[in-house]
Every structure is written in structure tokens, then in C-alpha cells.
Structure 1
Amino acid sequence: MSTMIDLTARLLAYQSGRAIPIRRSSALIADPSPTFAIVPIRMVAEQVVYALAYGDPEGEPEVVLTWNPLDRDASFMEPFAATLDRYLSDCVIAGEMPRIWLAHAAALEVIALLGHRYRTNRSVGPELQRMGAQCRLLAEETTFAGQQIVAIAGSLLASHVATGQSPSEDLHLGALLAWIDPPAGTVVADAAAQAALAPAAAMLDRAADDRVEQLRARVARGRLREPSARVEAEAIIREEALREWALLVRARRAFWGLGLTQGTELTKLTAESFKRVAWQIDRNYGNPARPRSLAQRLDELTYAKELTAYADVADDPINRAAALNAGRVLDAVVFQRDQPRRGFNPCTLTLETRQNALRIRPGTQLQLRGSRVFGRITEVREVNAGQATQLTLVVTNGVRNPQLPTPGQRTEWMEPEPADLRYQKRQVYERMAASADPRVFGDTLPLSRPQPIDDDLATIARRLRR
């Protein structure tokens, strides 16, 4: 979203006194059943875990905790590790996509920390090592655009609605929810400011944190018996975990309460997410470090980003309108269709548009939105004294498609769905690895040998457009 559109949306939200939607379609496919939610509570200074609340967000959570995480005893997390493993494994075996709900980015940081700390930790048992591998897998999945496995409530809400507060204030989930569901009889800005006083960052409230720290200090100085201090501290920590759990449940319901539509392209993003997670769920791979694995990871990230950008424009009318204003979508009427033999090539469409921004040139490939009709622009010319533009489009795929437009029909054309070339690229990487190409695997670059060019650059460019 552009800065101007974002500012305008925030002004409108401030004027109306509540958040306004900036999308009509959801970027997240509907929750599968069952769904799994995780609420971690951490000790801020040491970045160790106090507690984990987990389970079905529609029910009561299980809570595991320790009142003194500095003793490095992680066995309290074993019930969580077993439940997470069972949930993920059951989903993969059943061929169903898992869904993990987190409240905010701070919760994701804790999950990533668990992965980093326990995945290869030899001082813990295999259950916690497996938990570490799975937590790392979930954290890695969030780096892929359009992923459908890990739902971060705060990020999802902020990307689907605009509030009357600043983007930095939107980072507090409680303040964000105050704008989405304003309390009656209270100015929404005041309600958001009041909600922001309670932490929403996977940590204890200040008073609770001070009390737990005080209890540990008194036990260490011999002024209080450990059993009584433990009981009080664990009750405080449990209450704080349940407070964050309630915040996550409220945020999840607020997101689905927006009433957004489910676009058809979400199924492709879901399939991509499931393949990535299902393939690694029983493996404990490290980060890619070699040229081949790094190249494949870059290909995966690039394809996910391109597919998500395509889905956002294809599924959501607001995003599509923004792309149209930027000239990346063509809104045109079919002026003429030349197809000597119905259902066969050649087939040429003459399109006419009056939109101002037009980033289309001869050679541009376009896809009719919502169909498998593709074409290539061969000519762009102004008509009616420059008030309109006509484009000649040669249909390259879909001449028998019933959605092939007819004269007089208004159409929307966009960039085609990105081609999935990952398999072909992997074959190239395999051959490069087999040949140990010095340009990739060597320490120094070989001497360059300029190749003779028979044609000038203009001739080469014309040949590439054909």
C-alpha cells in the first residue's frame, strides 16, 4: 500500500472512530479443524521461557510453566512438545494443512528462539530436540510470502484494516483490537491508549514480573520457603499466560469477524505451504549453506513472493484497483475479435482502454483475470486524438476457452501467473555441482573470453520480442 493511500485510510478510520477494512478478500484461508494455538511467556532480560499456553483456540488451553527458568531445566516443556508433535504429525499423515495461531511477532520470536536453542541441544531429550526442530520449521515458514501455516494475529489484522493511530501503535495487539471493536461509551483513541498499558509482547505485566522476581530473591536469601514462593509465583505466571491467551482468542475472532471473502488463488498458496512443511516435518535440516542449497532457497522465496503478489491482485478488488492505478492491470473493452476459425488459432483481440497509467508495451504478456486465457501484446496505438488507447493482443492460450471474451465485453487483464521453474533450476544446479563449475564453486573467477556479436543490440532486442 502506498503512503498516500495508507494515510488516507487512517484519516478515514480516525474520522469514523473505528478501523476500516483495506482488503475485501482474506490473505489467509479458513482455519482447518482442528487448529492449534501457542501463547509463550518469556523472561525478557534472559530470553528464556516462563510458560507456554497451548491447545485449540476454541477451548481451554493447557499451560506448562516454570517459576525459575534460569535453572535451565526445560523438562516442564515436554508435554507441550508431545502435543505439538502429535498435532503436526497427525495433520501431515492425514494430508491436511496444520494451522498454528500466534498472537503477535513477539510470540514468533520466542518460537524461533525455542527452535534455535533446542534443535541440536544434547543436554535435553529427543522430545525437546524434536520440538526445537518443529519450532524452527514454523519460524522458517513465516519467511515465505503468502504462507498459510502460521497465522500471526497482530500482523494479519494490521494488513487487513486501517486504524486511526500510527503504524507503531498498531504493533500493540490490544490497542489494535480497540479500534476494530471499540468499547461503547468510550472514545476509541482513549480505549486504545488504555489497552496499550497492558503488555502484549509475550511477557509478564510489570507488577507481576516484579513480584515473581521478588519471590525468587527472597528464597535465594533464605527469607522465604521455596514451596510457598513457588505456589504464588506459578499462580501469577499462569494468570499472565491466560491473559495473553484471551488476547489471542479475541484477535482470532476479530479477524474472522471481518467477513472477508476467500479467493480461489489461496488454494495454491496453501498447497505450497503444506508441501514445504510436510516434506520437512520428520527431518531436522539446518540452514542452507552451500551454493546449491542457497540458490534453491532463494528460488523458493522468490516464487512464493511472486505467487503471493499475483494472488493479491487476482483475488482482492482493492489491491487490483491500486494495481490498475499504477498501470499494472489493464481495464479494457474488447473492440474487435479476429478469429477466422472458431476455437482455433490464429485469434487476435483488439482492446480499447481509457485509463491514464498504462505500463504495457509490445511483447507484454497478459492473462484475462479469472481464466486461463493468455495473450501477447503486439501493437499499442493512440486513438480518438489521444483520448483512448487501442492494443492488439494475440491469444497464445485459451482460444477454445468459453471465457474467451467477445466484442463489447469489458475485461481485466493482468500479469500472468508466475511460471514455476524450480524443477528446471534444480536440474541446472545438479549439473553445475556435477561439473564443479569454477564460476560457482571456485575461489577465483576464470578469465573472461568475450564472444563475437554479429548483430547490433537493436536487432537482438527485436529478435527477443518475437
Structure 2
Amino acid sequence: MSLITTLARLEAVHTGRAQPAATVRHRHLSDRPLVFVPLTTAGEAGAPLGALVGTDRDAPHLLAVPQPRDRDLRFAFLAELADIVLPYVEAYAESVEAAERTETDPETGKRVKVEVDLCADAAQLVVPSRAGVDFVRLLGRSMRFRRTAEQDPETPHPAPPRVPLLGRWLTHYGERARVPGSSLLLAVTDLLGRHWATGQSTLEDQHLGALLAWIAPDGAEGATGAEAARRAELARDGDGQLLC
């Protein structure tokens, strides 16, 4: 942590508000990103309980797995997810622009100019936190080599047709997230943490509700970021369900 970041965090503690750490956004954010909010079981890696996914904040798709250890229910969930994610990704296939670059001709060995197509835009996935990035990578790895009934009629528990393709795409996005500066797969907590300094630890900043509470505290007038973050982490409704 740099001295400037440490100073900004101390100021956040003193004022009770997150302090801006940048004046411009240092990541590309699409006009129409696909937001993916997964919910997983605690005991079994990669076993989904459900997910909110979509590009319209007012009409997201809610997917649920009543029994995440049931293979058929899990495949049905993944098939529904593929039906949402793949059309979004494929819609950007035609978003290209022509450009020229110099390549070596394999026959003559001379440098020649060739015309190529470059991506003008790309599908962007947004998840709440770094754990969401890890889950995308894990989900992709668990799906990309699944056999379908069309590929192997004798395979036990065949995957729905589009599931392996979704796995390959999620693997690609998960691996690109490791590349510095890549914006194909973004974690909101990392994006906000790059631009705001709070009065809590970087580990606590991975709780999106607590991080947002430091940036824009709600509730009682005059509440500090720490109080708002605690409320975001622990507050429950009349039925005992977490509010955030």
C-alpha cells in the first residue's frame, strides 16, 4: 500500500466517508455490460444455488437450483445460463472494423501489408466481487470438457448442447481477468476499490454492500461509513433475512 493510499484511508476513517483515490476511471465500462451475480453453496466448490444475470437492472433473469447436488438440476441451470450469456456474447461477433497491419509473407519473406478485422467492441461481464471472478473461472473449467449426447451418445450424464461452449467462453473470460488492464470480466469491488479509499481493510472491501456504504452511507443522517458498513453486513429484516 502506497503512502498516498494510506493517507486516503486515514482521512476516510477521520471523516467517516470514503475518499476519492482517482479523478478519472481507469477501466473501460461497457454501455451494456452483462451482470452476473452467482450464489453458491458453502460446502461444495462450483455447486450453484442460483444467479441473477442480465443487462437490464429492472428486469434481470433469476435462475435457481433447488438441489445443487442434483446433476440434472445443475445442468438445467447451466443450460438456462448458456441461453442468456451466449446470445449476448455472440451479438458482438459483427462488431469489427477493418485495419491494416504488416506481416511477413511466408513465401517471399518480405514484409507486406494485409487487411485484418479488429474487434471494435466486446461483451463485458461484471460480477460483484473477486470471488465472482474465481467462480466464473471455476464454472468454465467444470463445463468446457463436458460431453454432449451429440458428441458421444454413450456418455453417462450428457451435458446440454450449449453448456461446453459456455464453459469455454467463461474460461476465456476468467483467464483474461488475470491480465492487467483487461476489462472483459470486472469485479465491482475491485473497480470501486481502485477509485475509492475506505476506512476498512482491503479484505473487508470485498463485501460490496460494505464498500458502497462507505462511498454513499444511507440510513440515519450523520451516520459514518463504518456504521453504514456494519449495517450493510449485519442488518436483517423482520424474517431474519439479511437486508444486503
What is the TM-score with the length of structure 1 in the denominator?
Answer: 0.41
Q: Give runs of aligned pairs for residues 16-27 of structure 1, distance below 5 A.
A: 16-27=15-26
Give ranges in structure 2 of 5+ residues lacking alignment.
97-120, 148-157
Residues 1:83 and 2:84 are matched in the alignment? yes
SS of residue in 1 equivalent to 2:44: coil
RMSD (Å) for aligned C-alpha atoms: 2.1
* 1:308-350 deviation per Cα after TM superposition (whole angstroms, max 9, x unaligned): xxxxxxxxxxxxxxxxxxxxxxxxxxxxxxxxxxxxxxxxxxx
Q: Residue in 1 aligned with 2:155?
A: none
Identify the structure with the greater helix proportion: 1
Q: 1:98 is matched with which residue: 123, 131, 136? A: 123
1:5 and 2:7 matched: no
- Which residue, out of 145, 152, 176, partners 2:187? 152
CA–CA distance in 1 between the matches of 2:235 and 2:176?
29
- What displacement does 1:114 show? 1.1
Cα distance in 2 between the residues matched to 1:198 and 1:71? 32
Name 2:152's counterpart in structure 1.
Answer: none
Paired residue for 2:50? 51
> What's the counterpart of residue 203 of structure 2?
168
Matches within 5 A, 1:84-233: 84-95=85-96, 96-122=121-147, 123-183=158-218, 184-185=220-221, 186-197=223-234
AA paired with 1:140? E
Question: Partner letter of residue 152 of structure 1?
Answer: A
- Deviation of 1:149 after TM superposition, in Å, equals 1.3
Map 1:255-270 → 2, pairs under 5 A:
none
2:38 aligned with 1:37, yes or no? no
- CA-CA distance at 1:139 after TM superposition: 0.4
CA contact under 8 A between 1:141 and 1:150: conserved in structure 2? Answer: yes
Q: What is the CA-CA distance between 1:68 and the residue it aligns to? A: 0.2
In structure 1, distance between residues paired with 2:182 and 2:235: 30
Letter in 2 for 1:137: H
Count of aligned residue pairs for this structure pair: 202
Larger Rg: 1
Question: How far did 1:56 drift?
Answer: 0.9
Distance 2:58 2:64 in 1: 19
Deviation of residue 57 (structure 1)? 4.2
1:447-462 superposed matches below 5 A: none
Contact 1:21 1:162 in 2 (8 A): yes
CA contact (8 A) 1:175 1:191 kept: yes
Residue 198 of structure 1, CA deviation: 6.7
Contact 1:64 1:77 survives alignment (8 Å): no
Q: Is the 8 A contact 1:43 1:49 kept in 2?
A: yes
- Cα deviation for residue 10 of structure 1 reads 0.7
The 1:55/1:27 distance shift into structure 2, 3 A limit, reads same
CA displacement at 1:59 relative to structure 2: 2.9
Q: Give the distance between the partners of 2:235 and 2:129, measured in 1 at CA.
A: 14
**1:57-456 pair list within 5 angstroms:** 57-73=56-72, 74-95=75-96, 96-122=121-147, 123-183=158-218, 184-185=220-221, 186-197=223-234
C-alpha displacement of 1:31:
1.9
Q: Which amino acid aligns with 2:210?
A: A
Q: Distance in 1 between matches of 2:235 and 2:122?
A: 34
Q: Secondary structure at the match of 2:186?
A: strand
Matched position secondary structure for 1:38: strand
Show the counterpart of 1:445: none
Cα distance per residue 1:44-74 (max 9 Å; x no partner) = 1012011121111433111121110111121
8 Å CA contact 1:38–1:53 kept in 2: the answer is yes
Are 2:18 and 2:225, in contact at CA under 8 Å, matched by a contact in 1? no
After superposition, the C-alpha distances for 1:257-292 in whole angstroms (9 at most, x for unaligned) are xxxxxxxxxxxxxxxxxxxxxxxxxxxxxxxxxxxx
**Cα distance change of structure 1 residues 150 and 198 upon mapping to structure 2, 3 Å threshold:** farther
- The structure, 1 or 2, with the larger RCO (C-alpha pairs under 8 Å, 6+ apart) is 2
Letter in 2 for 1:9: A
Separation in structure 1 between the aligned mates of residue 235 and residue 163 of structure 2, nearest angstrom:
31
Q: Which runs of 5+ in 1 are unaligned?
A: 200-206, 209-239, 248-466
SS of 1:191's equivalent in the other structure is helix
Amino-acid identity (%) = 30
Please give the secondary structure, in 1, of the residue aligned with 2:87. Answer: helix
Residue 167 of structure 1: how far off its partner (Å):
2.1
Task: State the TM-score, normalizing by the size of structure 2.
Answer: 0.76
Deviation of 1:160 (Å)? 0.9
1: distance between equivalents of 2:201 and 2:64? 35
**In 2: Cα distance, 1:98 partner to 1:76 partner:** 21
Q: What is the alpha-carbon distance in structure 2 between the residues aligned to residue 45 and residue 14 of structure 1?
A: 36
Q: Distance in 2 between matches of 1:16 and 1:187?
A: 8
Change (3 A) 1:195 1:85: same
Encode CA deviations 1:115-163: one digit per residue, 9 max, x unaligned.
1111001231331111111111110110110012112101111111101
